Structure formats: structure tokens, C-alpha cells
Amino acid sequence: MDKFRAEDAEILIVVPEKREKALKYASAMGFSGFVVPDDEKKIYHRYGLDTSFMGAMQKSEVFVIDALGELAFAQGHGSPLRLPRVTEVLDVVKSLHAKRSSKNN
């Protein structure tokens, strides 16, 4: 998380549950970043994260959203087993940070 924050990025997870259950889920995973409860599944529907595997499991995806709110990266293909490596996502974030820094200079 420190490496992402060094690039002015934050990590968050979206959990399709009410706040208390979402926080318990994140805690059980050992996640210490931002937790976004999405019990109405508005975020899930917007990004196509409805259930997969015959409705038994939520799709898992990694998204990088830039400072303007635009989707800059998406990968995961619905399976927690096919998520990108952390270094790959960090490289995307670094490139966005570098672009933003060069525009400000």
C-alpha cells in the first residue's frame, strides 16, 4: 500500500454488502485500505461485477481509475485466480502519476 500511496494512489475494495459485513470481510482478508460497502450493487452493476460461477461467487476484478474518474486499467476476467500481479497494477499507477506530473510542469 505504501508504494501505491507514494504514487498518490489509494487502494480500495468494493464489497456488495452493508457496511458492517463489508468491514468484517475486509478485516478477515487482512485488508487495511478503504472499504466501500455497495449493498445496492450500484458500483458492481456499473463495472459489470455481477455474480459469476452460477451465482455462487462474486466476480473479482482490478480497476485503476485516474484522477479524472476515467477507467485506465481493468483486468481479472471474473476469477480471483486470474487477477493481475501487484507489480503490473503499480506500473499502471506509476505511468498515470508520471503523466499527471509532466502535465503540471
Give the cell for residue 42. 450500484
Q: Percent of the chain at pLDDT above 90?
A: 24
Give the cell for residue 59. 466476480
pTM higher than the cut 0.95? no
Class of domain 2-104: alpha beta
Domain ranges of the chain: 2-104
Per-residue pLDDT reduced to its tens digit, 20-70 = 999 998 899 888 889 999 999 898 888 777 655 545 555 667 888 888 888
The burial class, CB within 10 Å (0-12 / 13-18 / 19+), for 105 is exposed
